[in-house]
Amino acid sequence: MSAPRERLLRMRDEELARMMRRGQLPRIAAFEAALAALDEAPTEWEPASRAVVSDDGQAIRLTLYREDDKAASVELSPAAAVALAGRLIEAALPRLNGE
């Protein structure tokens, strides 16, 4: 094993030990779960053919559908929904003016 790799592994292990001593084990688990999800994510993405926003009074949800009806859905906080709406408007306005 190379010296830089050994040093990085040692530094990672030391930081993990510090985090565990501080009671940050749930945070470590969240990082591991996020990394595992990234490992399983497809490398090729197909564009969505439609997007649906739903609000059942409990949660605001954005669901994206492909042509084959496979979907991806995410729950948004009110602040995130407003921010996303603003970004969508910013992206769309130049295209509307250019038509």
Per-residue model confidence as pLDDT tens digits over 20-58: 788 877 777 777 777 777 777 667 777 888 999 999 999
Which has more pLDDT, 63 or 24? 63
The total of structural domains in the chain comes to 2
Residue that has been written with the tokens 């559908």 in this structure: 65
Task: State the pLDDT at residue 2.
Answer: 66
Cβ-contact 63, 76 below 8 angstroms: no
Task: State the pLDDT at residue 52.
Answer: 92
Cβ-contact 64, 54 below 8 angstroms: no
Residue 20 lies in a domain: yes
- Same-domain status, 55 and 94: yes
DSSP reduced 3-state for 58: coil
pLDDT surpassing 70 at residue 59:
yes
- Same-domain status, 59 and 90: yes
- Same-domain status, 31 and 57: no
Find the angle CA(12)-CA(14)-CA(17) to the nearest 5 degrees. Answer: 110
Residue 86 lies in a domain: yes
Parent domain of 89: 50-98
Q: What percent of the chain has pLDDT over 70?
A: 92
- Same-domain status, 56 and 93: yes
- Same-domain status, 72 and 32: no
